[in-house]
Structures are given as structure tokens and as C-alpha cells.
Amino acid sequence: MSQTPKHSADAPVPTSTDVARLAGVSRATVSYVLNNTSAVRISEPTRRRVREAAEELGYVPHAAARSLRAGHSRMVLLPTAHVPVGPLYSRFLNEVQWALRALDYTVVQYGSLGLGADEAARAWAELRPVAVLSLGEIGLTPHGVRVLKRSGAKAVITLGPQRVEGAHALVMDQRAVGSAAAAHLLERGRRAIGVVVPAEPGLDLFSRPRLAGVRKAVARGGADARVEPLTMAYDEESAARLAADWRGLGLDAVYAYNDEYAQLLMRALQDAGVDVPGECAVVGADDLLLGKLLRPRLSTVHIELPTGREIAELVDRVVREPDGDVERHDLMAAHAVARESS
Amino acid sequence: MSQTPKHSADAPVPTSTDVARLAGVSRATVSYVLNNTSAVRISEPTRRRVREAAEELGYVPHAAARSLRAGHSRMVLLPTAHVPVGPLYSRFLNEVQWALRALDYTVVQYGSLGLGADEAARAWAELRPVAVLSLGEIGLTPHGVRVLKRSGAKAVITLGPQRVEGAHALVMDQRAVGSAAAAHLLERGRRAIGVVVPAEPGLDLFSRPRLAGVRKAVARGGADARVEPLTMAYDEESAARLAADWRGLGLDAVYAYNDEYAQLLMRALQDAGVDVPGECAVVGADDLLLGKLLRPRLSTVHIELPTGREIAELVDRVVREPDGDVERHDLMAAHAVARESS
DNA sequence: TTGAAAGCGGTACCAT
DNA sequence: ATGGTACCGCTTTCAA
């Protein structure tokens, strides 16, 4: 059980010099062999000796030294969100990583929880990533973008609700989500629409445009309709409090930000004796599995994200051609999925 | 498509040499000033000039160069799971990152999706992290651990269901979860216990020990009781299929891996006309909020994870004292939370 | 076919 | 109080 530390503390890390010495060649040759440099012909016996030496020593090249010499790296840095995001989002994030690695990038997530936006940008810049891809919540300011570009980042790309000056923007207009929800509710004849706005900080980057989307749809679609923002935290107490006062609000529908908040609120409403959908329609968003499991089944807004491959290819394109003006909007399609709660 | 690079497309990245030149001092002085080196006294006017020059150029030090020179880094690498994990887990992961950064480590997540275990270890080793902290699903083999240690990692720590030779292990015995669930069910008089085993690959590292825990508790507690493993995927069809055959299985209880699977299965059972808990008790795990929202309210197993700070401090300790024999077990406390579904 | 050597961006020792 | 310089590990001309 208790292992005696072998050569633990200070076995020096093998370098290409060690490999060269063991193989009886120069460091240059080691480099040629291990990188399969095509411009140089090395005899097969030599190659074998080098490979065996590397293997025997457990040699692993030093990425920092390599990229220092090369003057660039292939690291793509993904700042990770400050807020726990939903399953929809994390699946997407996984896809993007996978696709980037398929393009031979080294993908690294950097959790900047607790750092200010510019502090964070500076920390990222120290790593000299070739690209920074900010998904979702944007921890980037125009100044941060400048710092990153100055430090050699070829691509600084944001994918989210709003654009940041200097960065390539993939604008996913979250208003479409709110609009889809509201249009659906109006069509169902609802006229007084509550909109849940999560109390959790950081989510407002999504919730505000979604609310705006509701307002837009209502302004366009229903002259006699009204919109009522409702702050709610993701916990039972907050939902219960909201539900307790429900009748006083005079609402006949609620768009609850996403499916998880919708589940929470719907339960609270039911517990308070409010009939769903009779008295009040409920719509979520994200089209999670859980919506189908609820009773009544939860109406939702299905969101169509770009695929990970598309994003990865965009990153690659911008890295190769940093001056192309890439700004695209409305990458996000949203449509209502009517089920039983509305 | 010939692009005319407008300006600054490839303005060279400022180095400490540039700062030195602009400030009219040597690179050494720049280094002293910017690092507040206490062993050396630099006059205040000089300090100011250096700082202003750095500011003006937007100078950001090159982490790779620094750690190359220093011979070590303060990077902690967190391999990210191959499987989407629950909210419980991601909260924990965030905590750990935060705590590590408070100890002045640079935390980096490395998504190794699609890499073999040893391939991944090698990729991590290239970054020369001072520590690797593998949470949850373990993508580490004894060989991978050796590679990492050889490459200079002072700490290779696994926190999960099983230990890996050579690594410091924080063994969280998942059997405790299954045992708690089973003990609870036996106590309630149940005798034929189904155990949901997720079909999703990668989750078996958790599900198998949990199943084993159920078996252990049953063997100890109920001579006349039996255990029935039930494979189920996280989708409606799979759950419906299982529920359709339910009566043929002759079970009066089910431990459904975790709350999310439990929700899915409970819904399917109810839809199939199986009364919960009358005909069949259902228990989940993780004690998520959603359990309280279901009807009947979902009984669950509450899992007590170590805090992020504890983990971070352990990492730090091992980094400073790599030879200390750190292997701890049962960091995970689990106890049943009886609600209405059992 | 292979080797010697320069240099990437910092840091720290040793002079001055 | 500062500057000169060697060196970290690796790649890549240029010579031999």
C-alpha cells in the first residue's frame, strides 16, 4: 500500500539533449526525427536509435519551448462561463472543442471566475493563444480585445448576444427566443404576459434581450397586450413567493426564461392552486428532455445553435485570414414547440 | 480575394526588449521593476519610466518564456470529463478552480474528448503542468501518471471512485451512494430492488460501484431481498421500454442512479400505470432541486463532496511536498433523504 | 546525412 | 542603482 518513493522528487525531466546523447546524435537530428521533418533525410538506423532513446527516457517535448521558438502556438483559449450554464450549452461547448481539435488546435478552457474582464484578458494574453473564443457570457471589453490582439491573438471571436468592439462577432440574437415565445402566447390568445428574469447575476446578458424580444413581439402583435417582468431566483422560496402573489398580477401567461426556471415556476403555481394552462400558460426555452416529463408537458422554445464544426471552421478561417471582416448575425434560429402548458 | 491588410494586422508583439528600449533601460531593469524584485533597489523615477513604457506598449509578459526560464510553472491542469456531468459536479468544479486560483495557480481545463488515455496524458505533459487534478471520470492509466511525473508534474491527483497506481488518490467510494439508497429501501420494507445502470458509456465508472453498494447493503441487510440491474439510456424511449415490462420484473423498488434518471423513469412508470410509491418505490441521488419539484417528491441520496478549498489545499500540499503519502478514502458522505417516492 | 550555432522572451547572477 | 550576459528547451538555417 504505502509506496516507497522511487526517484520521485528530483529526477530531472528529460530533454531533447538527453535523447540526443543517448542516441549518440545531435539535438538537431533528434528534432528532425521526432518531427518527421521532410526537408531533411535521416537514415533509417538513426531514426530508430533516436526513437528508441526517446521512448526509453519517456521524453515528451516541451510545448512552451517549442512555441517560443516557433513564435506562435496553436492554442485556442475558451474562457469558461462564470455562471453554471445548461445542458444545451455544455453539449455545444463539447462539440466545439472536439471540432477544434480535429483541426489540430490545442483547446484550453480558462476559468476566469472572480477576475475582472480586463484582468482576465491579460491573464489569457500571457498564454499567447492564437485564438480566443468567447462563448456565451462575454467577459470581454474592447480594451481586453486590444490586449489580446496585441499579444498576438489572430482571432478573437465572440459568440453571444452582443458584439464587442474589435472582436469578430457571431451575434446570436437572444431576442428571437423571447419573440418566439411571445408570438406563440399571443396566438393562443394570451394578453398579459409575465416574463421571468433570473435574479442570478450573469444571466442578464441572456435574459434582457429575451425580455426585449417579448416586448418587440407584443408591440408588433398585440396592441391590447402587456408585458410584466418578474424577477425570480432559481430556488423554491423565490418561486413560491412569486406564485403566492400570482393572482394579484393579473397575468394569463408567463415566459419563464428557460425550461428549468419554467419547471420551478410551474410547480410553484400548481402548488398555489393556479391552473396551468387554464389560468396561466407557461412557456420555457431550450427544449430540454425534462419538459416532456412534466405534467402538463411544457411548451418551450427550441433553439437551433450553429454546429461545433461551423464554429471551429470559422475560428480556423479567421486565424489564417485575420483581416477578413467576419460579423454574422442571427445564427440562432428559434421556434416555439407547443405542448400542453400553453 | 486579395485582402489589403489595413493596419496593424501584424504589429509585432511587444517584448521586454521593447519596453527597455522605450524606457531607456536594460531588460534586466524592466524585469526587476515589473516583478517588484525585492533583492534589487531601483530608483523611483526609473520605475515610473518602465511602468509607463510597458503601459504604452501594451506589454504583457510571455508565460511560456517565463516558465521556460524558471524551470517550472504554476499551472494546474484539470482534464475535463468526457461525459456531460450533472450540476452537482460542475458547481464543485467551479469551486475547485476558484480555490486554486486563490492559491495563485493558473488553472486550465483540458478537454480530451476523443483522445485515448495515454495520448491525453502525453498532451497534458507537453504543457508541463505542476499538477494534474483529475476529477470524476478518470482518464488516467498508471502509464499516464508516469509520463506526467517524468515531465515534471509534482502532483498527480485523482478524485474519483477508484485509485490509479502512482497517483495520489482521493477515493470517493461511490458504493456508499448505492448502499445508502438500498439501506433506505430495505428499511422501508422493500425486497426486490431494481438498479438503473445508465447505458451511457463513461458513466459506468460511477454506476458500477453504486450497484455494488446496493448489493453489499442487500447482502448485509436482507437475506430474502434481491437486486436486479436494469440498463437504461437517458431518453424517453428507453425509459418507456423499461416501464412497459415493469410488472414482469416483479420489483417493488428501484434505485435510479441519480435524480435525473429517476425523474425520467418515474415519469415512465407513472405513464405505464405503475403507482409510485405504492407499487414501486423510487430513489435517486444527488439531491438536486428538481427532486423536490416532482410529484411524488423524489427520495434521494444526498452526497457530501469535499469543498473546493480542501481539494485546492491538498493540491498545494502535494506540490510542495510531493513525497507525502496522500491517499484518503471515503471523502464522500452519503445519506438518504426520504421524501414521498419511497 | 548530420552537426554547430543562433535565437525565441524572460530571469537572475555578477559586475560595474 | 543599473547593465551585461548566460541560460531555459527547442527549431532551423547554414556548413561540413
pTM over 0.85? The answer is: yes
Q: Which residues of B touch A114 (CB under 8 A)?
A: 98, 101
pLDDT in tens, A1-10: 333 344 445 6
How would you classify the pairing of strands B75-80 and B106-111?
Answer: parallel
Q: Which CATH number does A8-61 carry?
A: 1.10.260.40
Give residue B85's pLDDT: 65
Using alpha carbons, select from A231, A263, A261 the residue that is nearest to residue A249. A231
Q: Which residues of B touch A147 (CB under 8 A)?
A: 58, 60
Give residue B23's pLDDT band: very low, low, confident or very high (50, 70, 90): very high
Using alpha carbons, select from B76, B114, B82, B115 the residue that is nearest to residue B96. B76
Average pLDDT, chain B: 92
- CA(B101)–C1'(D9) in Å? 27
Neighbours of B184 (CB within 10 A): 23
Using alpha carbons, select from A334, A315, A322 the residue that is nearest to residue A75. A315
Residue among A61, A125, A150 whose CB faces B126 most closely: A61
Give residue A139's pLDDT band: very low, low, confident or very high (50, 70, 90): confident
pLDDT in tens, A249-293: 999 999 999 999 999 999 999 999 999 999 999 999 999 999 999
Which single residue has its CA nearest the C1' atom of nucleotide C5? A28
Q: Which nucleotide is at minimal CA–C1' distance from B71?
A: D8
Q: What superfamily in CATH does domain A175-304 come from?
A: Response regulator (3.40.50.2300)
Give residue B82's pLDDT: 63
End-to-end CA distance of chain A: 61
- CA(A32)–C1'(C1) in Å? 12
Helix (H) or strand (E) holding B267: helix B259-271
Residue B198 one-letter amino acid? P
User: Does the structure show a pLDDT above 80 at A109?
Assistant: yes
pLDDT in tens, B157-179: 999 888 899 999 988 889 999 99
User: Does the structure show a pLDDT above 90 at B83?
Assistant: no
Which single residue has its CA nearest the C1' atom of nucleotide D9? A65
Neighbours of B29 (CB within 10 A): 21
User: Does the structure show a pLDDT above 70 at B330?
Assistant: no
In three-state secondary structure terms, B163 is coil
Residue among B80, B149, B234 whose CB faces A109 most closely: B80
Best mutation target, B2, B92, B109, to test chain A (most A CBs within 10 A): B109
B70 touches strand C (CB under 7 A): yes
Give residue B218's pLDDT: 96
Mean pLDDT of A64-75: 97
Q: How far apart are CA A222 and CA A189, in angstroms?
A: 10
The backbone region for A284, taken as left when phi is positive above 0, alpha when psi lies in -120 to 50, beta otherwise, is beta
Mean pLDDT of B66-91: 86
Name which residue leads in pLDDT, B282 or B137. Answer: B282
The nearest CA of chain A is from the CA of B224 a distance in Å of 34
Which of the residue ranges A24-33, B46-55, B198-207, B228-237 would you say has the lowest mean pLDDT?
B198-207
pLDDT in tens, A164-186: 999 999 888 899 999 999 999 99
B229 touches strand D (CB under 7 A): no
Equal CATH topology for B73-172+306-331 and B175-304: yes
Name which residue leads in pLDDT, B203 or B37. Answer: B37
The backbone region for B196, taken as left when phi is positive above 0, alpha when psi lies in -120 to 50, beta otherwise, is beta
Give residue B1's pLDDT band: very low, low, confident or very high (50, 70, 90): very low
Q: How far apart are CA B84 and CA A339, in angstroms?
A: 27
In three-state secondary structure terms, B195 is strand
Q: How far apart are CA A193 and CA A219, in angstroms?
A: 12
Using alpha carbons, select from A187, A159, A202 the residue that is nearest to residue A332. A159
Neighbours of A17 (CB within 10 A): 11
Average pLDDT, chain A: 92
Name which residue leads in pLDDT, B325 or B19. Answer: B19
Give residue B139's pLDDT: 83
Best mutation target, A323, A325, A340, to test chain B (most B CBs within 10 A): A323
Q: How far apart are CA A330 and CA A176, in angstroms?
A: 8
Q: Which nucleotide is at minimal CA–C1' distance from A13?
A: D9
Domain parsing of chain A, residue ranges: 8-61, 73-172+306-331, 175-304
**Are B111 and A127 a contacting pair at CB < 8 A?**
no
Q: Which residues of A touch B147 (CB under 8 A)?
A: 58, 60
Q: Of residues 207 to 236 in chain A, which lie within 7 A of strand C by their beta carbon? A: none
Give residue B4's pLDDT: 33
Helix (H) or strand (E) holding A229: strand A226-232
Q: Between A and B, how many residue pairs show a Cβ–Cβ distance under 8 A?
A: 152
Residue of B nearest to A120 (CA): B106
Neighbours of B186 (CB within 10 A): 19
Best mutation target, A94, A200, A235, to test chain B (most B CBs within 10 A): A94
**Could you say which DSSP state residue B299 is in?**
B
What's the fold here for domain B73-172+306-331?
Rossmann fold (3.40.50)
Angle A286-A288-A289 (CA atoms, 0-180°, nearest 5)?
165
Q: Which nucleotide is at minimal CA–C1' distance from B68?
A: D8
Give residue B9's pLDDT: 56
Mean pLDDT of B182-199: 97
**Are A150 and B3 a contacting pair at CB < 8 A?**
no
In three-state secondary structure terms, A157 is strand
